[in-house]
Chains A and B, each alone.
Chain A
Amino acid sequence: QSTLTQPPSASGSPGQSVTISCTGSSSDIGRYNHVSWYQHHPGKAPKLIIFEVTKRPSGVPERFSGSKSGNTASLTVSGLQADDEAFYYCASDVDSVDLIFGGGTKLTVL
């Protein structure tokens, strides 16, 4: 599998919640609790927002949360804000030495 499967787009109004899925296989997401999520504003460097499926780095708001069930991981953004508009990428270890990214989801705040 060359990429994890994400919906190309998602949207929500300010204050609402949106969930982005990331589907892999038993070789990556299903095998490891090593899922991370990155926020990417075009023209800037990606920013880590979730690691080890559910953990948030220091400084990332609690509005961002992660989960996993079987071969699918999910990112939920609650209380949507204008600055949340960005691309979101999931990533997972595969074969313990390589990494695979999702195709990316463009989140639009309406």
Chain B
Amino acid sequence: QVKLVQSGAEVKKPGASAKVSCTASGYIFTDYYIHWVRQAPGHGLEYMGWINPKSGGTNYAQKFQGWVTMTRDTSISAVYLELGSLKSDDTAVYYCAREILGVAGITFDTWGQGTLVSVSS
């Protein structure tokens, strides 16, 4: 079945960077856009942007431009979310999600299990 499996939790110091992976299985990797969403403790979902696994093209939400980088490795059906200089406010669970084809609007049918990135000195 369709699955997105994310890398494990990370603990980082302020100013460090982080890289979260999301490995897809059960479908043709290059056929579906992958998006990233985060949820800080006690807060709601926050949209970060997407990557087109076929072309490598990306679109980042304005708030995250210049801070995040999304890449992919088609040989292993994985996408990556690189987070720049981290602050305590960036402590959150980061989710990858697959966009549905043939549906109007950005809509997700499959989510990864989430990766907690904790930022603390």
Could you list which residues of chain A lie within 8 angstroms of chain B, going by C-beta atoms?
Answer: 2-3, 32-36, 38, 40, 45-48, 51-52, 57, 87, 89, 91-93, 97-104
Contact = CB atoms under 8 A, between A and B. Distances in A.
B100 A51 contact: yes
Contacts, number: 71
17 contacts: A2-B63, A32-B105, A33-B105, A34-B106, A36-B108, A45-B95, A45-B112, A46-B108, A57-B109, A92-B105, A93-B105, A98-B47, A98-B62, A99-B35, A101-B37, A101-B46, A104-B44
B111 A45 contact: yes
A52 B104 CA distance: 6
Sorting the interface of chain B by its residue count into under 10, 10 to 19, 20 to 34 or 35 or more gives 20 to 34
B101 interface: no
A104 B114 CA distance: 18
